[in-house]
A and B are shown apart, each in its own frame.
Chain A
Amino acid sequence: MKEPTRDLKAPASLGTNNAIEHWTAAEKIRIKLSLPLEFAERLKRFIADKGLFADDALPVLIEYGLDSQDECTLERLRQERDKDLPKIDSKHAVLRFQAYQYFMINQAITMKLNISLEINRRLKALCKANGLLDISARDEWDGWGHEIVDELFKRYVFTNKA
């Protein structure tokens, strides 16, 4: 079984790896567990039966084990889930789709960003030279250097988030 590598304080993401990606090195710890072979096999079967990945399921199971000691917390959470789950579930689905749409558009624009910025600067210079644009007029992207462009490329192009 793959060894767990998660922060015990933070619940894992199920179905997506969003939570994992957002934990910085300072926010997670790596633990190495020694388990009886028989228990490890049961655990492996349980995770496979639920169709989950060990990396996702193990931190949740550990947290569940800790939280199950506090029945009041569980009851509050149960009531909240019964009331809010449909709303949160649909909000999650809609937001995920909208974020995906923005992501894909931003990816396409970012891929030609260097050219667009160069064109923008030349067009502005031409407009200013012909008195069509206020010389002092500045936009936020006028000061964008390689750092910001590289950051956008890392966010939208050199990533497997989509």
Chain B
Amino acid sequence: MENYWLMAYKSLKQDLAILEEDFKRYKRDYTLLDAIEKQNEELDALLRSKGIQVQSGRDVR
């Protein structure tokens, strides 16, 4: 039984390696997805500050 839990420990290490890969991918995606949202807010504010009519994000469409 003791050896069984050693194998379970090996599985935990493997899970951790997979989790680290997932975490890096999720973080990288978040950086890009969040940047799109932030840029939309910045461009919207920039246009408004110049007096260019942008009623809302959807109105730009």
Contact = CB atoms under 8 A, between A and B. Distances in A.
Contacts of B61: 118-119, 122
Interface size band for B: 35 or more
A12 B11 contact: yes
Interface in A116-162: 116-120, 122-124, 126-127, 130, 132-133, 139-141, 152, 155-156
Given A95-B20, A109-B33, A122-B60, A102 B26 contact: yes
Contact of A18 (B3, B15, B30, B60): B15
A11 B33 contact: no
A13 interface: yes
Grouping DSSP codes into helix (H, G, I), strand (E, B) and loop, the A interface class, with mixed when no group exceeds half, is helix
Interface in A78-122: 78, 81, 85, 88-89, 91-92, 95-96, 98-99, 102-103, 105-106, 109-110, 113, 115-120, 122
7 contacts: A12-B11, A77-B10, A96-B19, A109-B37, A123-B44, A126-B43, A155-B29
Interface of B: 3-4, 6-16, 18-20, 22-23, 25-27, 29-30, 32-37, 39-40, 43-44, 46-47, 50, 52, 54, 57-58, 60-61
Across chains A and B, which 6 residue pairs bring their CB atoms closest together, nearest first? A102-B26, A123-B43, A109-B33, A122-B60, A99-B23, A64-B7
